[in-house]
Amino acid sequence: MTELSTRQLTKSYGDRPALEPLTLTIESGAKVALVGHNGSGKTTLMKMSAGLLEATGGSVQIGRHDAGTQEARRLLSWLSDMPTFYDDLSLWEHLEFVARLHGVTEWENRAEELLEQIGLTPRRDDIPTTFSRGLRQKAAITLAFVRPFKLMLVDEPFVGLDEPGKQALLRLFDAASSNGATLLIATHELSFVKQVGRLLALRDGELIYDGAPSDTDVHALVLPT
Amino acid sequence: MSDTALDVLYDLRRRRKRHRLGDIEWFDAAYRVYLVALFGGGTVLWISSAIGDETVSANAVADVARNGPALIGMVTMLALLAGMRSGAQGGPLALEAPDVTYVMLSPVDRMRALLRPVTQRVRSAASLGAVFGAIVGQLAGRRLPGAPVAWAASGTAFGIATALLWAGAALIAHAIRLPLWMATSLGLAGLAWQSAALAWHLPGPANQFGSLAMWGWRQHPIDLAAALIAAIVLLVGVGMLQQTSLDALARRSSLVAQLRFAVTMQDLRTVILLRRQLNQEQTRARPWLRVPRWISHPIPRRGIASVARFPATRLVRMTAFAAMAGVLQAMVMRGTTPALIGTAFMLFILGLEAMEPLSQEVDQPDRTDSLPIERGELLVRHLLAPAVALIPFAVVAAASAVVVLGTSRAIAPAAILALPTVLAGAAGGVVSIVRDAPDPTKNTQQTFVPPEMAGMSSALRVGLPILVSAIAASTILLVRHAERSGTSTTGAALRGAVAASLLILLVSYWVRRRDQWRRKFRQFMSDGQAYTKQQRSTS
């Protein structure tokens, strides 16, 4: 079953194209890495898939639903590289709120488990807006994983993370993947690319590679023109 | 599940409200309310007394009856234009960034989730409209037939109806993704129609709105259609909330948070800057003109490069401010003294808009401090390019004043007074920019300021720049006095120009010396503290 599909998806800002017509499908349970130089269109593609950005042309579907619809939002978890938090709620309250919004009533055990894994248990009652860059990223990770999802879109997840944080995140990816979730991860961490089954590469908004990471020189793919 | 999600959302909002209420410094909040009531109420009372209580002539009453609805309707059409442009630019809603990430991306019914932000937006717009409507209404009631209270009530109704129309138009324009050029064209077309209605006594699109404002005097049941239309437009807009663009909400969310903070800090310069960003106003990639080669000094070159990149929208806005300042000065000449306040505001904002090179320098304190030139010297040199750029706007102000006054005798005084008044009025903007700048002379140690002083300091922070602009605008009073006493208006204009020029020099000198004075003052205070400490230890 297809979890994410785009059809002639395009985005331009004024006269400047950010994404050339893109047609692709990602099957359920796949773990896909998305690479490309800065400004290649990775975040644009992710945001359009999450429903945060309107396409100039074409369409995106999450499962069988148009991106951004209520059903699509139920299926999709979005982990941004620029996490945002309420400045008057603790991390624990954030977890409660996000989990319950997605219909999870028994959320406490899952939240405690995530905090433990990522190393934020001692900070659970603190306000995440006061956290350092790395801790904010960790807090955002717990929020992305505390709710159920079929597809997770992740933008630059390793930025600011220390080594234990990176390892914990990789374990969470593996667990989600083994539970049948689909992962699309945009990253500049080329060592991570070896761990996925499929690699997509964008250059100047154009898909220049779609295949196994082992069949290509990944470093050459991320060079700008 | 969606009902459950909504329950969770309402629960979250209740909890956050409790947190916020718990965090409020009630004494501080009450003190701010007290200050607003004191200064706001005082201003309204002053305007009321300046307007006077004598009723206008029968001819003037007939004139108001004939032209009033169309003239007041212009305000409604301006609000409609502003609403459509706001919607086309992603407004009028602004959520917090985490609301976009967590609420809007959850399977909650977006329309119902957005109802509260819409209600808050409409409520604040309607309150603002009601207050302005009531103030203007009661002022009109002092001179026109009908009780002031009735006029205040009808002004309130007009203000609310216009605010609802603004909000509804903005929501609809947003939902249908109305392109900005089309929103502007439609709004201007409506404005042109209303202007034609005013000039040739045709039925105007907003005449009923204007007529509703005059219910304090005479009531036409058909005018209720205005309120009905405003309510329908708003309901249609609310009904289209599902089409709200997350893209726009996400873009506006961070800017609005900064905007609220800047408003809280009374940082007017930042408010203007953020409003520009909110409206997606970009400086031009290709400047209107290249910096001439013969200008070799880097500071004027940098200033001209900045001014030459002003976008067309800002130039149009500045022209409108200048024209409005001229119209208001003409009203002062005709006897409406409180119009001076309006002129002061127009010139102040014109100054904030024009002083971009200075603002940019002030916004980069680290770079400024690394330059081999004293900061005061640097800042004062940055005043030159914007001052030159203001010359055409002074011409616009003079021309609009002469047109409104409708006499060639106004040409000479306007020509003499316009530039010094515009520059001195813009000096209010300079004071605001420089006062709001990060202070390199300040050490990191915080000094305790009692609430009474903090309140006064807040009032000064906002009031002083406007006061400078108001002093500049009040030079017109010399000309008015000369006209009324039959002496030379040209001579009076010259005296006014000299006074305005002195004000410009004074502000420039203050910019130049401010850091030195502050350093000396701090040194004096710290010497005093050290001396007191020494005296205590010896005794």
B44-72 pLDDT per residue, tens: 666 666 665 566 778 888 888 888 999 99
Cβ of B106 and A54 within 8 Å? no
Nearest CB to A78 within list B105, B107, B110: B105
Closest chain A CA to residue B247: A53
Closest chain B CA to residue A148: B106
Contacts by residues B489-494 (CB-CB < 8 Å, ≥ 24 positions apart): B489/B409, B489/B412, B489/B413, B490/B412, B490/B413, B490/B416, B492/B413, B493/B412, B493/B413, B493/B414, B493/B416, B493/B417, B494/B416
Cβ of B107 and A97 within 8 Å? no
A106-127 pLDDT per residue, tens: 899 999 999 999 999 999 999 9
Stretch among B224-238, B455-469, B520-534 having the lowest mean pLDDT: B455-469
- pLDDT value of position B457: 63
Asked if the model's pLDDT at residue A24 lies above 80, the reply is: yes
Please spell the DSSP secondary structure of B58-92, one letter per residue.
HHHHHHHHHHHHHHHHHHHHHHHHHHHHHHHTT-S
pLDDT band at B385 (very low <50, low <70, confident <90, very high): very high
Write the CB contacts of B100 (distance below 8 Å, at least 6 apart in sequence).
A52, A84, B246, B249, B250, B253
Return the residue in B3, B11, B105, B255 with the most chain A beta carbons within 10 A, the one to mutate for interface testing.
Answer: B105
- pLDDT value of position B497: 96
Please spell the DSSP secondary structure of A28-59, one letter per residue.
TT-EEEEEESTTSSHHHHHHHHHTSS--SEEE
Cβ of A70 and B8 within 8 Å? no
Q: Is the minimum CB–CB distance between A104 and chain B shorter than 8 Å?
A: no
- pLDDT value of position B413: 94
ipTM: 0.89
* More confident site: B231 or B294: B231
Q: Is the minimum CB–CB distance between A69 and chain B shorter than 8 Å?
A: no
- pLDDT value of position B472: 95
pLDDT band at B292 (very low <50, low <70, confident <90, very high): confident
B218-264 pLDDT per residue, tens: 899 999 999 999 999 999 999 999 999 998 888 888 777 777 666 66
Asked if the model's pLDDT at residue B462 lies above 60, the reply is: yes
Q: Is the minimum CB–CB distance between A71 and chain B shorter than 8 Å?
A: yes
- pLDDT value of position B448: 46
The strand pair at A31-36 and A182-186 is best described as parallel
Closest chain B CA to residue A80: B101
User: Mean pLDDT over residues B299-307, rounded?
Assistant: 88
Asked if the model's pLDDT at residue A204 lies above 80, the reply is: yes
Q: Is the minimum CB–CB distance between A80 and chain B shorter than 8 Å?
A: yes
* More confident site: A168 or B29: A168
- pLDDT value of position B1: 45
Asked if the model's pLDDT at residue B3 lies above 90, the reply is: no
Distance from CA of A99 to the nearest CA of B (A): 10
Asked if the model's pLDDT at residue A189 lies above 90, the reply is: no
Say how far apart CA B373 and CA B382 lie, in whole Å: 13
- pLDDT value of position B447: 46
Cβ of A88 and B103 within 8 Å? no
Q: Is the pTM of this model over 0.80?
A: no
- The answer to whether the CB of B150 falls within 8 A of the CB of B216 is yes
- pLDDT value of position B455: 57
- pLDDT value of position B445: 45
Closest chain A CA to residue B108: A70
- pLDDT value of position B270: 72
Cβ of B102 and A102 within 8 Å? no
Asked if the model's pLDDT at residue B537 lies above 70, the reply is: yes
Q: Is the minimum CB–CB distance between B258 and chain A shorter than 8 Å?
A: no
Say how far apart CA B255 and CA B281 lie, in whole Å: 13
pLDDT, mean over chain A: 92
Q: How many CB atoms lie within 10 A of CB B178?
A: 20
Question: What are the chain B neighbours of A71 within 8 Å (beta carbons)?
Answer: 107
- The answer to whether the CB of B423 falls within 8 A of the CB of B387 is yes
- pLDDT value of position B440: 58
Say how far apart CA A183 and CA A34 lie, in whole Å: 10
Q: How many CB atoms lie within 10 A of CB B251?
A: 19
Q: Is the minimum CB–CB distance between A65 and chain B shorter than 8 Å?
A: no
Give the type of residue at B514: R
Stretch among A131-140, B62-71, B346-355 having the lowest mean pLDDT: B62-71
Question: What are the chain A neighbours of B102 within 8 Å (beta carbons)?
Answer: 94, 97-98, 101, 143
Alpha-helical runs (H) found in B406-450? 411-435
Cβ of B2 and A70 within 8 Å? yes
Q: Is the minimum CB–CB distance between A66 and chain B shorter than 8 Å?
A: no
Burial class (CB in 10 A: 0-12, 13-18, 19+), B529: exposed
Asked if the model's pLDDT at residue B76 lies above 90, the reply is: yes
Nearest CB to A85 within list B2, B4, B98: B98
Q: Is the minimum CB–CB distance between B291 and chain A shorter than 8 Å?
A: no
- pLDDT value of position B54: 63
- pLDDT value of position B133: 94
Asked if the model's pLDDT at residue B2 lies above 90, the reply is: no
Nearest CB to B98 within list A53, A78, A86: A86
Closest chain A CA to residue B242: A69
B170-227 pLDDT per residue, tens: 999 999 999 999 999 999 999 999 999 988 888 999 999 999 999 998 899 999 999 9
User: Mean pLDDT over residues B272-294, rounded?
Assistant: 79
Taking alpha carbons only, the member of A125, A80, A110 closest to residue A172 is: A110
Nearest CB to A86 within list B2, B96, B108: B96
Residue A35, beta-bridge partner list: A201
Question: What are the chain A neighbours of B245 within 8 Å (beta carbons)?
Answer: 54
- pLDDT value of position A179: 93
Question: What are the chain A neighbours of B1 within 8 Å (beta carbons)?
Answer: 74, 103
* More confident site: B273 or B391: B391
**Angle A108-118/A163-178 helices, nearest 10 degrees?**
140
Question: What are the chain A neighbours of B5 within 8 Å (beta carbons)?
Answer: 100-103
Say how far apart CA B372 and CA B375 lie, in whole Å: 9
Return the residue in B6, B102, B114 with the most chain A beta carbons within 10 A, the one to mutate for interface testing.
Answer: B102
SS3 annotation, B110-170: HHHHHHHHHHHHHHHHHHHHHHHHHHHHHHHHHHCCCCHHHHHHHHHHHHHHHHHHHHHHH
- pLDDT value of position B387: 95
Cβ of B101 and A73 within 8 Å? no
- The answer to whether the CB of B329 falls within 8 A of the CB of B401 is yes
- pLDDT value of position A112: 96
Cβ of B102 and A97 within 8 Å? yes
User: Mean pLDDT over residues B467-479, rounded?
Assistant: 94
Burial class (CB in 10 A: 0-12, 13-18, 19+), A126: middle
Max mean pLDDT among B89-103, B151-165, B369-383, B426-440 falls in: B151-165
pLDDT, mean over chain B: 86
Question: What are the chain B neighbours of A80 within 8 Å (beta carbons)?
Answer: 101
- pLDDT value of position B495: 96
Question: What are the chain B neighbours of A78 within 8 Å (beta carbons)?
Answer: 101, 105
Q: Is the peptide bond before B92 cis (omega within 30 degrees of 0)?
A: yes
Say how far apart CA B432 and CA B429 lie, in whole Å: 5
- pLDDT value of position B290: 86
Question: What are the chain B neighbours of A101 within 8 Å (beta carbons)?
Answer: 5, 8-9, 102-103, 106-108
B412-458 pLDDT per residue, tens: 999 999 999 999 999 999 998 888 666 655 554 444 445 555 556 66
Q: How many CB atoms lie within 10 A of CB B502?
A: 12
